[in-house]
């Protein structure tokens, strides 16, 4: 009996392909999410293939059963497609909107592949955000998840597709509270994220002009940077610093040196920046439009329903040191529940369920 058990073949690992970048320097939120998940998937149970632009995250380059396909100047779609078809993976995870995804979706449909499509949506759905490949990945997905309860609800409202929430976690290598938190002589208000129209970074400049005694620090780059710099100059703001793109380590350090995180974006899913800032003990002020679960309104920060409420919230926390300390302590406690080890376990269970119930594409659509 013992010898038979010892010689019994072990089940092969589930094969997962994801069009995500394993590069150590890639701080895009979606790629950060996938790197944290893959780093924690059991090596003997999951074989993962993903692309890699530059030096890989050392946890992934050291992980067994991991294939990292180098990103080059040209030919990436064809080269990556080979890894999606010869042989097809058990799971295609977290599709994006590129040519690779489009071609694979077409081939999967035409050939009736049994590859399970697991879609992860990180933006609230509306008539604009739900178009194109995003909508297709939801309609054709075998399992669909959102990165918050609100995002999952908008998926169901828009498509009639059941979606479950799985949250992001906190990378505790970089995002943690300071051992001794000292308030700055001049309060530091921090923003981190891309500089694009929906983020409304111009509002950060407007608040800086209104509150000249506070320091405003902006981390990130993007298409509206020139406009924001010009606005700061025109407004005579000497209290605004543009930091450019920061590594995760630098971002965590900047957050621990700040007092308040001001995030006026109007179109999001469940922004990792709010979770990272809260983990570092920052009081967060953001819009309530996307109902982030990372901020508890009135307990760890403020979720505003209007631009006027954004300003009012900032005034309240800049003017009340006791409130800042209370919110900061509550924010740190609140983030304890967003643990990457637990969250990766949820993804592992989802992958196993998807493989257990998968069928050829034509049978899935017929049911």
The domain tally of the chain equals: 2
> Once rounded to an integer, what is the mean pLDDT over residues 157-161?
97
pLDDT of residue 167: 98
Closest CA to 324 of 239, 251, 261: 261
Residue 183 lies in a domain: no
Residue 177 lies in a domain: no
Same domain flag for 149 and 18: yes
Q: Which residues pair with 14 in a beta bridge?
A: 46
pLDDT of residue 5: 46
Same domain flag for 269 and 329: yes
| Cβ neighbours of residue 58 closer than 8 Å, sequence gap 6 or more | 24
Same domain flag for 221 and 141: no
Q: Which two tokens stand for residue 58?
A: 């050392």
State the CATH number of the domain containing residue 219: 3.40.50.2000
Same domain flag for 206 and 282: yes
Residue 182 lies in a domain: no
Which comes out higher in pLDDT, residue 180 or 285?
A: 285
Distance CA 180, CA 320 (A): 19
Same domain flag for 245 and 289: yes
Residue 180 lies in a domain: no
Residue 111 lies in a domain: yes
pLDDT in tens, 56-77: 999 999 999 999 999 998 899 9
Residue 164 lies in a domain: yes
Same domain flag for 154 and 235: no
**pLDDT at position 365 over 60:** no
Same domain flag for 205 and 65: no
pTM metric for this prediction: 0.91
Residue 203 lies in a domain: yes
Same domain flag for 306 and 347: no
**pLDDT at position 318 over 50:** yes
pLDDT of residue 7: 54
Same domain flag for 71 and 161: yes
| Rounded (10°) CA dihedral 168, 169, 173, 174 | 60
Phi (first) and psi of residue 216, to 5 degrees: -115, 125
Same domain flag for 10 and 141: yes
Same domain flag for 272 and 344: no
pLDDT of residue 150: 97
285: containing domain? 188-337
Residue 175 lies in a domain: no
Strand 283-287 relative to strand 188-192: parallel, antiparallel, unpaired?
unpaired
pLDDT of residue 362: 53
pLDDT in tens, 290-303: 999 999 999 999 99
Same domain flag for 317 and 362: no
């Amino acid at each position: 009996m013992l010898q038979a058990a010892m010689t019994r073949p072990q089940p092969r690992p589930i094969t997962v392909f994801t069009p995500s970048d394993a590069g150590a320097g890639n701080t895009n939120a979606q790629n950060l999410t996938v790197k944290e998940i893959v780093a924690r998937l059991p090596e003997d149970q999951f074989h993962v293939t993903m692309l890699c632009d530059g030096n890989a995250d050392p946890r992934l380059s050291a992980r067994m059963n991991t294939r990292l396909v180098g990103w080059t100047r040209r030919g990436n779609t064809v080269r990556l497609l080979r890894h999606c078809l010869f042989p097809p993976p058990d799971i295609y995870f977290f599709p994006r909107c590129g040519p690779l995804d489009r071609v694979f979706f077409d081939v999967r449909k035409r050939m009736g592949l049994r590859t399970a499509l697991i879609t992860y949506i990180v933006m609230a759905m509306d008539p604009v955000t739900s178009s194109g490949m995003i909508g297709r990945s939801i309609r054709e997905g075998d399992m669909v998840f959102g990165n918050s309860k609100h995002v999952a609800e908008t998926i169901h409202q828009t498509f009639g597709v059941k979606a479950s929430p799985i949250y992001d976690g906190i990378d505790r290598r970089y995002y943690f509270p300071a051992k001794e938190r000292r308030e700055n002589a001049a309060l530091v208000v921090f923003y981190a994220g891309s500089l694009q129209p929906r983020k409304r970074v111009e509002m950060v400049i407007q608040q800086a002009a209104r509150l000249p005694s506070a320091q405003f620090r902006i981390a990130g780059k993007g298409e509206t940077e020139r406009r924001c710099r010009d606005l700061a100059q025109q407004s005579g703001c000497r209290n605004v610093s543009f930091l450019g793109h920061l590594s995760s380590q630098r971002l965590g350090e900047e957050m621990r040196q700040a007092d308040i995180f001001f995030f006026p974006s109007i179109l999001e899913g469940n922004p990792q920046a709010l979770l990272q800032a809260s983990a570092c003990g920052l009081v967060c002020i953001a819009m309530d439009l996307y109902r982030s679960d990372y901020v508890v309104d009135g307990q760890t920060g403020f979720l505003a329903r209007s631009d006027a409420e954004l300003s009012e919230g900032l005034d309240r926390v800049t003017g009340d040191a006791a409130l800042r300390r209370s919110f900061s302590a509550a924010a740190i406690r609140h983030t304890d529940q967003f643990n990457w080890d637990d969250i990766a376990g949820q993804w592992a269970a989802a992958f196993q369920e998807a493989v257990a119930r998968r069928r050829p594409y034509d049978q899935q659509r017929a049911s």
